[in-house]
Amino acid sequence: GIQVEQSPPDLILQEGANSTLRCNFSDSVNNLQWFHQNPWGQLINLFYIPSGTKQNGRLSATTVATERYSLLYISSSQTTDSGVYFCAVDTNAGKSTFGDGTTLTVKP
């Protein structure tokens, strides 16, 4: 099946810093989503982005489907950005596959 790799696995930032999270996938996909899992375990939809670029406040995402990767940018990070960021892809089979996530810690 499709492989999804996220990097880096862990990231520690000082409040106010910027960061880039990467998601590589091994095959063509129909969907790609970014999620934030907060410290309480809730999965929050950030972006639905099978291709192109989207922005939502301090967060933005870019997916280059032809090169099989997606990037999540976090600018001016805040402590509330801490948690695990997951990338999930959906192939023609309709099954979503998740990466192992990037654990982000933002220190005050």
Q: Which of residues 83-102 bind another protein (CB under 8 A)?
A: 86, 88, 90, 92, 94-101
Q: Which residue has the tokens 């969907």?
A: 31
Strand duo 31-37 + 83-90: pairing: antiparallel
CB 70 within 8 A of CB 63: yes
Taking contact as CB under 8 A, which single stretch among the options 14-22, 25-33, 57-65, 74-82 is the one that binds another protein?
A: 25-33
> What's the rounded Cα separation, in Å, for the pair 33 and 88?
5
Q: Find the shortest distance in angstroms from Cβ 51 to another protein.
A: 12
Q: Rule CB under 8 A: is residue 65 a binding residue for another protein?
A: no
- The backbone torsions φ and ψ at residue 79, rounded to the nearest 5 degrees and listed phi first, read -60, -30
Residues that bind another protein (CB under 8 A): 1, 4, 30-31, 33, 35, 41-43, 45, 48, 86, 88, 90, 92, 94-101
